[in-house]
Chains A and B, each alone.
Chain A
Amino acid sequence: MIEKVYTKIDSIVGNVITVRAEGVRNNDLAEITTASGTGYANVIKLDGDKVSLQVFKGGQGVSTGDSVRFLGVPMRVSYSDNLLGRVFDGAGKPRDNGPELTDNMVEIGGPSVNPSKRILPNKMIRTGIPMIDVFNTLVESQKLPIFSVSGEPYNELLARIAMQAEVDVIVLGGMGLKYDDYLFFRNTLEKSGAMSRTIMFIHTASDPTVECTLVPDMALSVAEHFALDGKKVLVLLTDMTNFCDALKETAITMEQVPSNRGYPGDLYSSLASRYEKAVSFVGAGSVTILGVTTMPGDDVTHPIPDNTGYITEGQYYLRHGHIEPFGSLSRLKQNVNKDTRSDHRALMDGMIKLYSACKDSQEKRSMGFTMSDWDEKLLKYGKLFEERMMDLSVNIPLEEALDEGWRILAECFEPSETGLRSDLIAQYWPVKER
């Protein structure tokens, strides 16, 4: 394509500009040179010779006389091992002091995987967090959101998972991150040595909105290519609520009819096309997605968590600094927890049932009823369970966590009171402490 420069911008509305040009293809990338420098924009609508572009750096400061040059290619990202350890912004420019990467450019937001090529996920991803490993196991190629509210330590949780998860490559997509949070991620990963297998695409709260909408596509494209090359990739996205809000902003600028609380009608499809990138390739690697969705007003029926829940394979609720045992669900855990250890499933169910009973006792206590012996036992159990299982600082492998579970039970109950099968009790009940 002939690279013609257009210097007459007809309209600038929000982050969207229109120019009159011919031969431009939908979704193509353009370079826009303004007084403040050169940036990118991509084509989002064509109407005759009227081309609408969204400017990555935003419409602010764009002059009607600025020049637009169409590059004839869609938005792409460089893919190679050189990406490892690097940090980029939402437009793919380096955020660290490293060189710009332009080799082996790959398309972002590529086609979807053929369902008949997918396989049933069956490998566990170990995180060292008992509430995940024991109770809601994360499975390779799963897509799971962490439903939380602002102020909860979800980024700390993600950083810990990034450090500990047994995967080959970690891709972190940050959207609307506070700058401090970005620094926290970088420092934590650098200190732990996990940075060498991490790639970050970071959009901070002060960056232009459009770049926020590009982050998941960039992160997932890179992840997908690593997976095709046989790598086990974990993609961490935080915070998807900012991504959705950025989509909303663009949709409203484009005068699209909003559907629910101002969000565009295609919110479900937009989220699905990203989350569905989670996949296991036969004979190659896999992409697992763990995202954070902060629920506005702690309301799970808000369009963002609601649409997310319909797409993802379960959810973790992070509340009051720990992963909730109730409500949290990994829909794929059944695929893996049968092969870990013979007591895994039974212990998981048994401990949750007892913890649920403990909650009833707590309620009874708060209403002023007298506590029976059994209530006292449950209350003790609940306390130990919260301290030694639920606390996010607990960091032990699955097997140790299961052993710890048995120890907690043994400290509180007689074997027969646990409702667990006798053969398991014979095998696992700690003998010494009785």
Chain B
Amino acid sequence: MATSAIGHVTGVNGNMVNVRFTDSVIKNEVGYIRVGDIRLKSEIIRITDGIASMQVYEMTGGIKVGDEVEFTGEMLSVELGPGLLTQVFDGLQNPLPDLAEKCGFFLDRGVYLTPLPDREWEFTPVKKVGDTVIAGDYFGTVPEGIFTHRITVPFSLQGEWRIKSIAEKGMHHSRSTICTIENGKGETKDLSMIITQPVKVAVKSYEERVMPDEPMVTKIRIIDTFLPVAKGGTYCIPGPFGAGKTVLQHLTSRNADVDIVIIAACGERAGEVVEILKEFPELIDPKTGRSLMERTIIICNTSSMPVAAREASVYTAVTMAEYYRNMGLDVLLLADSTSRWAQAMREMSGRLEEIPGDEAFPAYLESRIAEFYERAGKVRMRDGSIGSVTIGGTVSPAGGNFEEPVTQATLKVVGAFHGLSRERSDARKYPAIDPMDSWSKYSGIIDHGEVDEAYGYLRRSNEIAQMMKVVGEEGTSLDDYIVYQKGEFLDAVYLQQNSFDPVDATVSVERQRRSFAILLAILRADFALSDKRDARTFFNELRQRFLDWNGTAESDEAFAEREKAVIDCYKGRIR
């Protein structure tokens, strides 16, 4: 490994700096550009004829030709260990609250702090002297909040190693040596609770990948029932601005039935991150009874922060997700928005003067997106425990048009597509997921055949609605009109969900099954309705009753009564 190679700046173009080097350098190696007293972190992204092109993770003002660059010999990495949870990092794993304490209101450049807190943890060894370990094995645990955090052998370790010494149960400092290992050649390595891992290299060290077959419940009806996401699966949420992408992600981050949620706010509004920062510590996770923040990590590289670090932020986030997955936990990574990440790549590609592809995105856009989503998955560890990383990314297509490179490249690799539509959000039909365009390849909480049947009504109703625009209500037959009303009914009482209503905002699996059964019975029923006016009045009343029921908690006395009101209402009119 080349240690502390030195280079000198030969050119600056936006956030890209060219550096002439003498010794050897590694692609994706990190270097620091010295500008006066400060050091600016950057990464080598191309090497040509003795010149390393580096993307700088900071503003490049003040850099001059001849400035010295120190190379570190390390690829861009994150620290992994106990204490990641509850933290708020920037894209390079700088803890933002600590940074604020040090620098005040602004993000001063060139300040890099230790990501993980220096503190003591109660260590319990699970291996003993003489045991052999390989990369990714764990030799002890510490309690981190509600989780048992596994202390891991670095993922980059080659071959089999034997434990030479290991600390006893008790309080140990996170950075002190608690285990020494030795390989066949007699080399030794000291291990602490903290390991580093290059962010662009996927963490493996598991036994095998298994099919993602268990639904990840979000408590949002349209997702869980109609467009499910599996634990270890991938999904994307494209939509124009104002359609509710971020709101949907926030809801998911609160309610998703997983152990850990990692939120990567990538190139979006700072205000939205602030909402999470202020709300999450106050919100209680119903599953654990603890603050939601205890299961959350936030990586935030908002739109006004340096672009290159935005590119790094999604990798930082997914590396942490993989780390916790390897402890046998279910992790959900929410990336908002992957378009900003793709734009960061585009910006860099432009500076490198690469031949542009569609809309000036680089030709490798698709493979990068695919690589990223492929880091999701459900895996079985060597000890038999199962962990998963689920990735949900929002996409912000230019002009709300899904026929653009980022959306299209994403659709090729994800397992579910939740497309938001302007029409639905304008009509205040939330969540504004378009039921007709969206799809999912996963199986959800309700029998596939029944869901398809309900979809059938929706599709037919939609067709009739289109037709009715041309021929008018008068030109539509009563039978068609009833199907149309059924579709509208399904939309109003099931697909739409009021996230401001304390009861309707989160709907449990049991409750979804219960109301879906009634819904399906209504869809299948053959109603005796005399004319269109009668049909409209009937469905309006039925809708009102169903919505009243939706808004009633199961613990409420009126619950059974309101359920009955729905059933009585529709049964009374069956032919």
The verdict on A423 contacting chain B, using a C-beta distance below 8 Å, is no
Residues in A191-225 with C-beta less than 8 Å from chain B: none
Contact partner, A276, options B18, B99, B304, Cβ 8 Å:
B304
Chain B proximity of A44: nearest CB distance (Å): 8
Find out whether the CB atom of B100 lies under 8 angstroms from the CB atom of A24.
no
Query: Do B396 and A48 touch across chains, with their CB atoms under 8 A apart?
Result: no
Cα A211 to Cα B109 with chains together (Å): 27
- Dominant SS at the B interface? mixed
> CB-CB contacts of A278-322 with B at 8 A, as 1s and 0s?
000100000000000000000001110011011101100000000
Partner of B108, one of A111, A118, A302: A111
Which candidate, A180-188, A256-264, A386-394, A398-406, is the interface stretch facing chain B?
Answer: A256-264
Q: Does A113 lie within 8 Å of B270, measured CB to CB? A: yes
**A121/B343 contact (C-beta < 8 A), A112-B106, A329-B242 known:** no
B106 touches A26 (CB 8 A): no
B304 engages A118 (CB within 8 Å): no
Count residues on chain B whose CB falls below 8 Å from chain A CBs: 61
CB pair A301 B401 closer than 8 Å: yes
Q: How far is the CA of A119 from the CA of B278 in the complex (A)?
A: 8
Is there a chain A Cβ closer than 8 Å to B269's Cβ? yes
**Chain B nearest Cβ from A229, distance in angstroms:** 13
A117 touches B88 (CB 8 A): no
* Contact between B273 and A115, CB atoms less than 8 A apart: yes
A92 to B271, CA, bound (A): 31
Q: Are A46 and B65 in contact (CB under 8 A)?
A: yes
**Which residues on A sit within 8 Å (CB–CB) of B99?**
114, 116
B303 at the interface (CB under 8 A from A): yes
- Closest Cβ of chain A: how far from B206's Cβ, in Å? 34
Q: Is A37 an interface residue (CB 8 A)?
A: no
Also in contact, A269 and B62, with CB within 8 A (given A118-B271, A309-B242): no
Given contacts A74-B61, A116-B88, contact A306 B66 (CB under 8 A): no
Which of B8-16, B463-471, B538-546 binds A?
Answer: B8-16
Q: How far is the CA of A92 from the CA of B343 in the complex (A)?
A: 32
Are A47 and B347 in contact (CB-based, < 8 A)? no
Whether the pair A117, B100 counts as a contact (CB closer than 8 A) is: yes
With known contacts A111-B106, A115-B300, A276-B302, A26–B273 Cβ distance under 8 A: no
Known A116-B96, A116-B100: A306·B62 in contact at CB below 8 Å: no
CB of A119 within 8 A of CB of B108, answer no
Once the chains bind, are A273 and B303 in contact (CB under 8 Å)? yes
Which residues of chain A are within 8 angstroms of B12 by Cβ–Cβ distance? 26, 45-46
**Interface flag for A69 (CB, 8 Å):** no
A117 to B100, CA, bound (A): 7
Task: Verify B66–A23 contact, CB threshold 8 A.
Answer: yes
Min Cβ gap A347→B in Å is: 18
Q: Complex formed: what's the CA distance from A49 to B10 in Å?
A: 8
A430 → chain B closest CB, angstroms: 29
In the complex, chain B residues whose CB is within 8 Å of the CB of A24: 64-65
Q: Is B517 an interface residue (CB 8 A)?
A: no
| Nearest-CB residue, chain B, relative to A272 | B303
Q: Are A116 and B343 in contact (CB under 8 A)?
A: no
Cα of A117 to Cα of B400 in the assembled complex, Å: 32
Residues of B within 8 A of A110 (CB): 106
Do A256 and B350 touch (CB < 8 A)? Answer: yes
Residue B393 CB within 8 A of the other chain: no
Residues of B close to A426: CB separation below 8 A: none
Question: Once bound together, how far apart are the Cα atoms of A332 and B60, in whole Å?
Answer: 34
Known: A26-B64, A260-B398, A306-B398. A269 touches B347 (CB 8 A): yes
Query: Which residues from chain B contact A302 at a C-beta distance below 8 Å?
Result: 399
* Chain B 449-462 per-residue mask, 1 if CB under 8 angstroms from chain A, else 0: 00000000000000
CB distance from A255 to the nearest CB of B (A): 9
Query: Is the pair A118, B270 in contact by a Cβ cutoff of 8 Å?
Result: yes
> Is B340 among interface residues, defined by CB-CB distance under 8 A?
yes
Q: Does B402 contact A (CB under 8 A)?
A: no
Is A265 a contact partner of B343 (Cβ separation < 8 A)? yes
Given contacts A47-B10, A112-B106, contact A265 B60 (CB under 8 A): no
The residue among A24, A309, A310 with the most chain B CB atoms within 10 A of its own CB is A310
Residue of A nearest to B275 (CB): A120
CB-CB nearest in chain A for B399: A301
Nearest-neighbor residue (CB-CB) of B9 within chain A: A46
Beta-carbon nearest neighbor of B345 in chain A: A265
User: Cβ of A281: which chain B residues have Cβ within 8 Å of it?
Assistant: 105
B195 close to chain A: CB less than 8 A? no
Q: Give chain B interface residues in 83-120, CB to chain A under 8 Å.
A: 88, 96-97, 99-100, 103-109
Q: State how many angstroms separate the Cβ of B357 from the closest Cβ of chain A.
A: 10
Asked if A22 CB lies within 8 Å of chain B CBs, one says yes
For chain A residues 17-34, which have a beta carbon within 8 Å of chain B?
Answer: 22-28
Q: Which residue of A lies closest to B344 (CB)?
A: A269
Once the chains bind, are B11 and A306 in contact (CB under 8 Å)?
no
Q: Provide the bound-state CA to CA distance between A392 and B270, in Å.
A: 32
A45 with B64, Cβ < 8 A, contacts A112-B107, A114-B103, A265-B347 known: no
Instruction: From the candidates A26, A116, A276, name the one contacting B269 in the complex (CB within 8 A).
Output: A276
Q: A25-B62, A269-B347 are in contact. Are A303 and B303 (CB under 8 A)?
A: no
In the complex, which residues of chain B have a beta carbon less than 8 angstroms from the beta carbon of A327?
A: 426
- Which residues of chain B have C-beta atoms less than 8 A from A121's C-beta? 271
Q: Is B1 part of the contact surface with A, judged by Cβ < 8 Å?
A: no
Q: Compute how far the CA of A176 lies from the CA of B353 in the bound complex, rounded to whole angstroms.
A: 31
- Let me know if B305 is at the binding interface, CB within 8 A: yes
Cβ of B274 < 8 Å from any Cβ of A? yes
Q: Which residue of A lies closest to B300 (CB)?
A: A115
Chain B residue numbers with a CB within 8 Å of A47 are 10-11, 13, 18
Known contacts A48-B11, A114-B103, A116-B96: does B62 contact A26 (CB below 8 Å)? yes
The answer to whether A5 has its CB under 8 Å from any CB of chain B is: no
Measured between alpha carbons, how far is A113 from B399 in the docked complex, in Å?
28
Q: List chain B residues, Cβ under 8 A from A25.
A: 61-64
Task: Indicate whether A120 sits within 8 Å of B274 (C-beta atoms), given known contacts A27-B62, A276-B304, A329-B242.
Answer: yes
User: Would A260 and B61 count as touching, CB distance under 8 A?
Assistant: no
Answer yes or no: A268 CB below 8 A from chain B CBs: yes
Interface assignment of A266: CB less than 8 Å from any CB of chain B: yes
A228 at interface, CB cutoff 8 A:
yes
* Nearest-CB residue, chain B, relative to A276: B304
Judge whether B359 is part of the interface by a CB distance below 8 angstroms: yes
B239 to chain A, nearest CB (A): 11
User: B302 touching A112 by the CB < 8 A rule?
Assistant: yes
Distance of A246 Cα from B303 Cα, bound (Å): 21
Complex: how many Å from CA A115 to CA B271?
Answer: 8
State the CA gap A301–B277 with chains docked (Å).
32
Q: Which residues of B contact A301 (CB under 8 A)?
A: 398-401
Tell me how far the C-beta of B359 lies from the nearest C-beta in chain A, rounded to whole angstroms.
Answer: 5
Q: Are A117 and B104 closer than 8 Å at their CB atoms?
A: yes
Q: Tell me if B446 counts as interface (CB < 8 A to partner A).
A: no
**Which residue in chain A gives the minimum CB-CB distance to B397?**
A306
B330-349 at interface with A (beta carbon < 8 Å)? 340, 343, 346-347
Task: Tell me the residues in window 42-72 of chain B with beta carbons closer than 8 Å to chain A beta carbons.
Answer: 59-66
Q: In the complex, are the beta carbons of A309 and B241 less than 8 A apart?
A: yes
CB of B111, distance to nearest CB on chain A (Å)? 10
Contact surface of B with A, Cβ cutoff 8 Å: 9-14, 18, 59-66, 88, 96-97, 99-100, 103-109, 240-242, 267, 269-271, 273-275, 277-278, 300, 302-305, 307, 340, 343, 346-347, 350, 353, 356, 359-361, 396, 398-401, 426
- 9 of the cross-chain contacts (CB-CB < 8 Å) are A27-B60, A48-B65, A112-B270, A113-B107, A117-B100, A120-B275, A120-B278, A276-B269, A309-B241
Known pairs A46-B13, A115-B88, A273-B303; list 14 more (Cβ under 8 Å). Answer: A46-B11, A46-B12, A47-B18, A111-B59, A114-B96, A118-B270, A257-B353, A260-B398, A265-B343, A268-B340, A272-B303, A301-B400, A303-B399, A327-B426
**Which 5 A-B pairs give the minimum distances between C-beta atoms?**
A301-B399, A272-B303, A276-B304, A27-B61, A259-B360
A contact residues vs B (CB 8 Å cutoff): 22-28, 45-49, 74, 110-121, 228, 256-260, 264-266, 268-269, 272-273, 275-277, 281, 301-303, 306-307, 309-311, 313-314, 326-327, 329, 332
